Amino acid sequence: MPTPLRKVNKHNAPTKRFEHTLWSAGKKYVVGIDEVGRGAWAGPLTIAAAVIPKDRRLYKVRDSKALNEKERESLYDPITNWCSHWSVGHATNQECDEFGMSHAQKLATKRALKSLNIDIDHALIDGKWDFVGEIVGKANRTMIIKGDAKCLSIATASILAKVTRDRIMKENHKLFPDYAFESNKGYPCPKHKKALYESGPTPLHRISWKYMQDTPYSQAPTPRKDPAQNTLF
């Protein structure tokens, strides 16, 4: 059962306005896409894709950043039962190092969209950077600034992505408790920085990032590969 909405979120509901426009134009499978983990120091980059039903609304869905962890967790199972189709794709921290963040985001997106097992008619993307056009075709995507707050499909994807990645990082906290992954999910914080200075990176860390130069870890970063040579993309 979803946790009751806090007062601050009661009047900030994303709508189906973008989806209805596309459905009216004959687009059957309209997919909302969002990412999480791009700015983290450790863990995967995660993309979620969500196709919501035309005739049913799940209340309390909001931009994942506007919800606390308990609220997001309480919505996860209702969302997965409500969506017509949904999926999640990841790019590992090693792939972020090898190929760079932009290509890693495209790689995770391709994995998520392939897992839907549908012929996508149109993609709705959070933000102003097109990381989907090469996959679905530039005529079949719409970029929406602050889309996770405005568009219900994108807001849905934002929760799926955030909860999935958070769970991964909380599981890894058991292996690396000094890094406080349970609370910081791989993002910078004092405990995370302290553990890096004292012990260096875990196998989850993106070792090519500049912050690694300030840790005791001295191994040179692996040169990035040419994205065109990546057979997974």
Model pLDDT for residues 151-181, shown as the tens digit of each residue: 999 999 999 999 999 999 999 999 999 999 9
Q: Determine which of 101-110, 160-169, 220-229 has the lowest per-residue pLDDT on average.
A: 220-229
Which residue has tokens 């040169």?
Answer: 223
Taking residue 74's Cβ as centre, other Cβ atoms within 10 Å add up to: 17
Contact 105, 38 (CB under 8 A): yes
Taking residue 117's Cβ as centre, other Cβ atoms within 10 Å add up to: 8
Give me the phi and psi of 85, to 5 degrees please.
Answer: -145, 145
Same domain, residue pair 86 and 117 = yes
Domain boundary among 125, 148, 171: 171
For the chain, what is the domain count? Answer: 2
- What CATH number is attached to the domain comprising 46? 3.30.420.10
| Residue 233 forms part of a structural domain | no
Containing H/E element for 124? Answer: strand 122-126
Q: Has this prediction a pTM greater than 0.85?
A: yes
Same domain, residue pair 181 and 132 = no
| Residue 2 forms part of a structural domain | no
Angle in degrees, 0-180, between the axes of helices 69-82 and 152-173, rounded to the nearest 10: 120
Q: Which is higher by pLDDT, 211 or 224?
A: 211
Question: Mean pLDDT in the chain?
Answer: 88
Beta strand segments in 37-91, E: 45-51, 85-91
Same domain, residue pair 66 and 16 = yes
Same domain, residue pair 134 and 191 = no
Q: CA dist 44 to 144, 164, 167, 214, Å?
A: 24, 11, 12, 22
For residue 218, pLDDT over 60 is answered with: no
Same domain, residue pair 25 and 99 = yes
Mean pLDDT for 171-196 is: 93
| Domain enclosing residue 219, as ranges | 177-227
3-state SS assignment for residue 32: strand
Torsion of CA 52, 55, 58, 64, to 10 degrees: 30
Q: By 3-state DSSP, what share of the chain in percent is helix, strand and coil, each rounded to 5? A: 45, 15, 40
Helices assigned H by DSSP within 60-146: 69-82, 93-99, 101-116, 133-136
Q: CA dist 166 to 101, 149, 222, Å?
A: 19, 20, 27
Q: Render the burial of 184-199: b for 16+ CB within 10 Å, e for the rest.
A: bbbbeeeebbebbeee
Same domain, residue pair 111 and 42 = yes
Same domain, residue pair 167 and 188 = no
Residue 222 — very low, low, confident or very high, per pLDDT cuts 50/70/90? very low
